[in-house]
Structures are given as structure tokens and as C-alpha cells.
Amino acid sequence: MHKYELVLKELSQMVDSHEPGHRLPGERELATRFGVSAMTVRRALQILLDSGRVTATPGRGTFVATPRVFRSFAAMGFTELMRASGRVPTTRCISADVGFADPAELALFGLDEGARVYHLLRLRLGDGKPLSIERATLPAERLPGLLGHDLDGSLYEILRAKYGVTVTRGRFVIQAMLPDKQTAERLSIPESTPCLAIETFSRAGPRQVIEHTQAISRGDLYSLTFEPESDESLAAPNPIAPSA
């Protein structure tokens, strides 16, 4: 992780800990506190400015801004979303395996009987804070050797760099829910905290489904605005209910 990313993570946590309007320390004070150059601090602050997390007034300083709603566009995954929001994204892969596809998965991916699929369970964090738990399913025959890559990062970047696959979002199913005990523990929240259950069907071509994800995201920290592409929506079988 680069120095400015470490500073950005600390500054982002500082912003989260204060109310809108709170004045942040000056660049020199922050540089001394973090043991970095003023230029490094300035770069991190600029990311927070660009994302709307803070505001700056010449001669007065930098202030915590009123929280803004994150926006997620059709081709933006979690990593890109966090970076656009001025947060440092990290991922913890809880489990990753390969197995025979069930009938619903065969139909979803257009696979022949006996085909295999990958199942990934990953915890997504922003500035070190758990935000979402994701279960992803992908067709193994189209992505050979996927489990050999570092899955503690952006899956979409792996698909682009290693397989030449550019993922676009095709269909969403979103509903409000309360987490069960295990999910609440993984997200470090009480079981009474509202969450968003988001089921996503992503594709690598006009009709080719390449990923099916079931995510449970914390509703107390952010909301999402989804803007899918305007072309024909992705046909899919009945949604599979999210599970913990």
C-alpha cells in the first residue's frame, strides 16, 4: 500500500468520526502526525475533496462535509466504488472452492450437465471497516485457474488482466433485510442493523452471464444508487434468495 493510501485511510476514518462542519488539522500538522510529506497529505485530501467527503475554504481550512450517497454505475465494482468514494478498499477471502453446478447454475450460465462452478465467499471492507459480505458464483470452464490468483482484491481486475473479460452489470434484485447472527458478526454490527440484500447478475457479453453475486451490505453506513445499462435487460431465472 502506498503512503498516500495509508494517509487516506487514516483521514477517512477521521472524517467518519466527526460531524459535518468539523475542521480538520492543517496539512503541516497532518504531515507531522503521519510522518509523511505535505505533498502526500495533499494528495490524500484531494481524493476526499473529489469524492465530496470534505470541503475546503481558502484561508479557513478543510471541513467534514455532509455525507453523500455513493453512486454505483453499471460497470463499477466494489473496489472502484470505494476508490471513487475516497475510501481504501480491501477484501478478505473467507472461502473459495469449485464444485459441480446445480440445475439453477447450469441454466444461469448456459452450461452442460457435469460442468463446474467456482464459489467465493468474501468480506469487503472500506478503510478497514466491514461493509459487505459477498457470495459469488462463476463458471469454472470459462475462467480456468481462477482460484490460483489472489482473491483478496478486485475480482474484476483479475478478470480483465488474466482473462481479457470486461464485466458489465446486467440485472439487480435488491431488498431490505436484517442480518442473521453469523452475518452480523462478520459485518461487526448488531443483528438489529438494517442491511441491503443485493443480488447481481453480471455479464461478459450481450447475453453471457459470467458472475452471479449475492451480497449483504450494511445499511447504516451507505446507500447505493444503481444505474443499469439502457439496453435489453438480462434474462435470468427466478432470483436465488441471499443467504448468510
Q: How many helices (H) and strands (E) does the chain have?
A: 7, 10
The full set of domain ranges for the chain reads 3-64, 70-227
Q: Say what the pTM is.
A: 0.65
Cα–Cα distance measured from residue 207 to residue 210, given in angstroms and rounded to the nearest whole number: 9
Cα–Cα distance measured from residue 86 to residue 8, given in angstroms and rounded to the nearest whole number: 8
Question: Domain 70-227 sits in which CATH superfamily?
Answer: Chorismate lyase-like (3.40.1410.10)
pLDDT in tens, the chain (244 residues): 678 888 998 998 898 888 889 999 999 999 999 999 999 999 999 988 887 788 998 889 999 987 654 545 444 677 777 777 777 888 999 999 999 999 999 999 999 999 999 999 999 998 888 989 999 999 999 999 999 999 998 898 999 999 999 888 767 788 999 999 999 999 999 999 999 898 988 888 767 899 999 999 888 776 655 554 444 444 444 433 333 3
Q: Does domain 3-64 have CATH number 1.10.10.10?
A: yes
Cα–Cα distance measured from residue 149 to residue 160, given in angstroms and rounded to the nearest whole number: 13
- State which amino acid sits at residue 21: G
- State which amino acid sits at residue 192: S
Cα–Cα distance measured from residue 165 to residue 25, given in angstroms and rounded to the nearest whole number: 44
